[in-house]
Amino acid sequence: MAGIGLFRIFDPKVRRHLISDEGEVVIDEVRHHWVVFTVPMLEVVLAAALLLTMATTSIGGQPVLLAIVLVLLAHAFWQFLTQHRDRFVVTNMRVMRIRGVFSQTVATTPIARVLDITLQKPIIGRMLGYGHFVFESAAQDQGFREIKWVSRPDDRDLTIQRVIQRTGLRASASVDVLQGDEDSDDDGTGPIGMDSAQEVTTAAPAAASAPAQQSRPGPTGSSGAKSIFNSERGNWTDES
């Protein structure tokens, strides 16, 4: 538990990049698969072996070996930080990639702009449980072209597809509202609480009664609204 808490110190603090006042939440935060830490761990093991050799034997060149140990440990720690802080984040609004140790790079794009996703799983990846994502979208130049070393790639692919589908449905509903369509039911053809059959039933009598109302002459001298357009004179008048 203490080790996990120590690792969290080096987390990139993803939630500080969320638009909280707009209701943005993290759907999935993708870390690299443990296989990317193989080389740093081997370097640590090699450095430990050299330290043990220096401590148990009187081998010459102690300063050189100590320098090699320090270089191995420094390189392993740097690789660990680089891989640990490289995160791919899926929210209900967009996708982000956050990376960098001292200088940080944050690339974002709306989830609706993600067009096609290719999941690549090599043989070793299928055995160890990792894969690579290749995104075809307008955000290719922002660091989303390839997301490598993704753990549980099948589950992550399904998660991204669900978010894209739900975002597409919300976008379609927003377009209908902007166009003045008050439909919000599943068939997309009528007002709230009305299905297609009800619309056809109510629309048919309305269409049949419209010509009758137009052809019915208004009563003379009625107190209703007056027509203020005189077609014979070709101008606007108020007949009294």
Give the model's confidence band at 40: pLDDT under 50 very low, under 70 low, under 90 confident, else very high: very high
b/e per residue, 23-56, with b = 16+ CB within 10 A?
A: eeeebebbbbbeebbeebeebbeebeebeeeeee
b/e per residue, 191-202, with b = 16+ CB within 10 A?
A: eeeeeeeeeeee
Answer yes or no: is pLDDT of 109 > 70.
yes
Write out pLDDT tens, residues 57-106. 877 778 888 999 999 999 999 999 999 999 999 999 999 999 999 888 89
What single-letter amino acid sits at 218? G
CA distance 108 to 32: 18
More confident residue, 50 or 239: 50
Mean pLDDT of 114-134: 91
Tallying the residues shown for the chain, one arrives at 240
The model's pTM: 0.63
